[in-house]
């Protein structure tokens, strides 16, 4: 198995690693906002097995988990949802979830590039807290809640924050003007405006879910990190960001 620390991310390089090792592993480091994650490319092509993605551990540990999964798949293993697997992390079981394809452009994005428009399946490897509770279970460690976005649900929201998080917008947006400027400031506050520099008198506080409800396409910038801005020319244009 391999990873993408050094080789260029081209279809030829990915295919060479798949042919040699069984899969190619993409590693994405954490930033101030989102956790690190890693995922395979090639399991679906070589073994008709879903690709696998994992979040929130060190890149080295996640690469080891994915390499282990690939080795098992090469010998005939097939991982499924709603089942505990004890042979990945010592003393802790893991589970797999089916990833909603709506998340593909944002997380296993290089897989979309490699497979082009062909459909492929992805499983998310999910690990528990130290009490062996999973993120969807009561009393899961709240400090770890955002380390693993669960990609089998909430595809119409995607933001790691709670839906009732208070965010800033303007009366113009609330009256129907399109959101063209988004700022995620260094302290974590979100701002959604129709003008680049709105008047302070026009600013309003609403729930993040209200913004997504007004413009479902806003989920396209849910990965915008602290201190970053995004903008677009109109509501039908694609977002650009720093």
Alpha-carbon distance 101 to 112, whole Å?
10
What per-residue confidence (pLDDT) applies to 118? 87
What per-residue confidence (pLDDT) applies to 214? 95
CA angle 150, 51, 128 (to 5 degrees): 40
**What residues have CB less than 8 Å from 138, skipping those under 6 apart?**
none
What per-residue confidence (pLDDT) applies to 176? 96
What per-residue confidence (pLDDT) applies to 5? 44
Q: For 170-222, what is each residue's pLDDT tens digit?
A: 999 999 999 999 999 999 999 999 999 999 999 999 999 999 999 999 999 99
pTM, full prediction: 0.92
The per-residue pLDDT of the chain, averaged, comes to: 94
Q: How far is C-alpha 7 from the geometric centre of its chain's CA atoms?
A: 23
- The structural domains of the chain, with segments of one domain joined by +, span 2-147, 166-241
Q: Is the per-residue pLDDT at 2 higher than 60?
A: no
């Amino acid at each position: 198995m391999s990873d993408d620390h050094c080789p260029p991310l081209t279809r030829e390089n990915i295919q060479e690693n798949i042919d040699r090792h069984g899969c190619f592993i993409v590693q994405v480091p954490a930033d101030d906002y989102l956790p690190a994650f890693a995922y395979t490319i090639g399991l679906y092509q070589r073994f008709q097995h879903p690709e696998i993605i994992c979040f929130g551990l060190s890149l080295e540990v996640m690469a080891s988990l994915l390499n282990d999964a690939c080795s098992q798949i090469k010998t005939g293993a097939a991982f499924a949802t709603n089942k505990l697997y004890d042979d990945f992390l010592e003393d802790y079981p893991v589970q797999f979830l089916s990833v909603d394809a709506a998340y593909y452009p944002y997380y296993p994005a290089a897989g979309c590039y490699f497979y082009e428009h062909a459909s492929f399946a992805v499983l998310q490897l999910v690990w528990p807290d130290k009490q062996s509770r999973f993120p969807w279970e009561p009393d899961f460690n709240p400090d770890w809640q955002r380390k693993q976005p669960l990609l089998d649900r909430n595809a119409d929201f995607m933001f790691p924050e709670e839906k009732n998080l208070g965010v800033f917008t303007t009366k113009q947006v609330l009256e129907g003007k399109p959101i063209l400027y988004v700022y995620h400031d260094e302290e974590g506050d979100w701002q959604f405006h129709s003008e680049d520099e709105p008047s302070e008198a026009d600013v309003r506080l609403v729930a993040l879910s209200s913004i997504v409800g007004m413009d479902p396409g806003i989920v396209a910038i849910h990965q915008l990190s602290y201190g970053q801005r995004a903008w677009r020319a109109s509501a039908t244009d694609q977002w650009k960001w720093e």
